[in-house]
Amino acid sequence: MRKEWVAPLLLSLLLIAIAVLLLMPVVLTVVSSFMTEREIVANYGMLGKTDTSVFVNLKWIPDWVSLRQYGKVLIATPKFLYLFWNSVSLVAPIIIGQASVATLAAFAFGKLCFPGRDGLFFLYLMTMLMPFQVTLVPNYLMADRLGLLNHSGSIILPGVFGAFGVFLLRQFMLHIHSAYIEAAKMDGAGYLRIFVSVALPMVKPGIAALVVLLFVDYWNMVEQPLIFLQDAAMQPLSVYLSRIQEDALGVSFAVSVVYMTPMVLLFLSAERYFIEGIQLSGVKG
């Protein structure tokens, strides 16, 4: 009896410890965003440098709660909201476009029979296995020839036709039993009707998981905007966060909190579908 509860208890304690370690940077960022500029500089400005060591004075409770950083970000400086809108205008079309394209392609690869289907799917997945650095030069040359450099299309178009969404949703399409497809055909439904009325409702968890994963991936992108968008006014807020300067630490904490809020809200609203989608993504019907 003792062994039956000791192992789950130890596992629970281990998971709690890991969760605390993962949440510490988030909590510290939120707490620091409510500190005064002087307190932030005193704790993090010089990183506590001494002759023999480097340390940081971590504070979990501010001496004085201040909203000045948020006022500076949300009201006094329109630049941050403008960059925030740049992030939204880049990420939203990518999510909508890739979810639409991936759903259609996954249905074709998972439920339609045509010559060379598996080979074409394998070649399609090869693009997903290539790191960003490998496809950087071809994408840059293609964007240059299409006249899309310094244009949002140079980032949106490659994102819309990414292979990850097709790979993920194809697993859900394979999970749909063929009896549903055959029953719909017997009722006189064509492939378009089958896709809309049968496939889409059954892959909602997969689409929700895809939306969350795409949002996190493209919301935090830095390399693509730096390379394809030379105009700083067109770059997203993630690029600004990558250029945090020591003299703007207070603002950077507030901007970080504002920037991660949409990700937290999206995950909380789609948590059930996201977990279900990840669980079912490896199940084949």
CATH code, domain with 125: 1.10.3720.10
Same-domain check for residues 86 and 189: yes
- In-domain check, residue 21: yes
Same-domain check for residues 27 and 142: no
Q: Report DSSP state, residue 49.
A: B
Task: Tell which of 66, 91, 112 closes a domain.
Answer: 66
Same-domain check for residues 36 and 90: no
- In-domain check, residue 232: yes
- How much is the pLDDT for 57? 65
For 17-54, give one letter per residue: b (16+ CB within 10 A) or e.
Answer: eeeeeeeeeeebeebbbbbbbebbeebbeeeeeeeeee
Angle at 61 between CA 59 and CA 66, to 5 degrees: 110
- In-domain check, residue 203: yes
- In-domain check, residue 177: yes
Q: Tell me the per-residue pLDDT of 10-31, one tens digit each, with 9 for 90 and over.
A: 888 898 999 888 888 888 888 8
Q: Tell me the per-residue pLDDT of 76-118, one tens digit each, with 9 for 90 and over.
A: 778 888 888 999 999 999 999 999 999 999 998 888 888 888 8
Same-domain check for residues 215 and 82: yes
- How much is the pLDDT for 247? 55
Residue numbers of the chain with a pLDDT score lower than 50: 48-51, 282-285
- How much is the pLDDT for 283? 43
- How much is the pLDDT for 284? 43
**What does the alpha-carbon distance between residue 159 and residue 145 come to, in Å, rounded to a whole number?**
18
Same-domain check for residues 56 and 151: no
Same-domain check for residues 45 and 102: no
- How much is the pLDDT for 238? 85
Same-domain check for residues 245 and 151: yes
Average pLDDT, the chain: 81
The residue range of the domain holding 46 is 2-66
- In-domain check, residue 271: yes
- In-domain check, residue 285: no
Same-domain check for residues 94 and 223: yes
Same-domain check for residues 17 and 116: no
Closest C-alpha to 155, from 244, 95, 212: 95
Distances (CA, A) of 169 to 2, 70, 103, 187, 274: 44, 39, 6, 26, 13
Look at the chain and report how many structural domains it folds into: 2
- In-domain check, residue 180: yes
Same-domain check for residues 85 and 37: no
Task: Tell which of 27, 49, 66 closes a domain.
Answer: 66
Closest C-alpha to 84, from 270, 267, 266, 254: 254
- How much is the pLDDT for 277? 58
Same-domain check for residues 44 and 99: no
Q: Report DSSP state, residue 115.
A: T
Same-domain check for residues 185 and 270: yes
- How much is the pLDDT for 285? 42
Task: Tell which of 43, 66, 89 closes a domain.
Answer: 66
